[in-house]
Amino acid sequence: MANIVIDLPAVDGSLYDYLGYDHDCKDVIHNLWSDDFGAPPRHMRIKVKTNSGKHVQIIIPYSNDQNAFVTIDGDTI
């Protein structure tokens, strides 16, 4: 099971659950991008540059048995 939850809070207070802890990381990526289009991805990378200049990455492996992880300025936390 994954260590990541993706949901969409709406302005009216409702919450749309996209994926939860009961899915694995591969499901997270597979719901957005299938390996039917070509070579399967290694992972999904979400990059954020903070107002203070930090570079944050969330890495979601395309795997049934690995967990997502976060790096800040290249250091895994």
Task: Mention every residue, 6+ apart, whose C-beta is less than 8 A from residue 53.
Answer: none
Return the pLDDT at 20.
75
In a domain, 34, yes or no: yes
Provide the domain limits for residue 41: 6-76
Strand runs labelled E in 1-77: 6-9, 15-19, 43-49, 55-61, 69-72, 75-76
Return the pLDDT at 35.
66
pLDDT, tens digit, for every residue of 17-66?
877 778 888 888 887 777 676 788 889 899 999 999 999 999 999 899 99
Task: Mention every residue, 6+ apart, whose C-beta is less than 8 A from residue 61.
Answer: 25, 26, 42, 43, 67, 68
Residue 1 pLDDT > 90: no
In a domain, 37, yes or no: yes
In a domain, 40, yes or no: yes
Number of compact structural domains in the chain: 1
Residue 8 pLDDT > 90: no
pTM, two decimal places: 0.78
In a domain, 57, yes or no: yes
H or E segment and range at residue 20:
none
In a domain, 1, yes or no: no
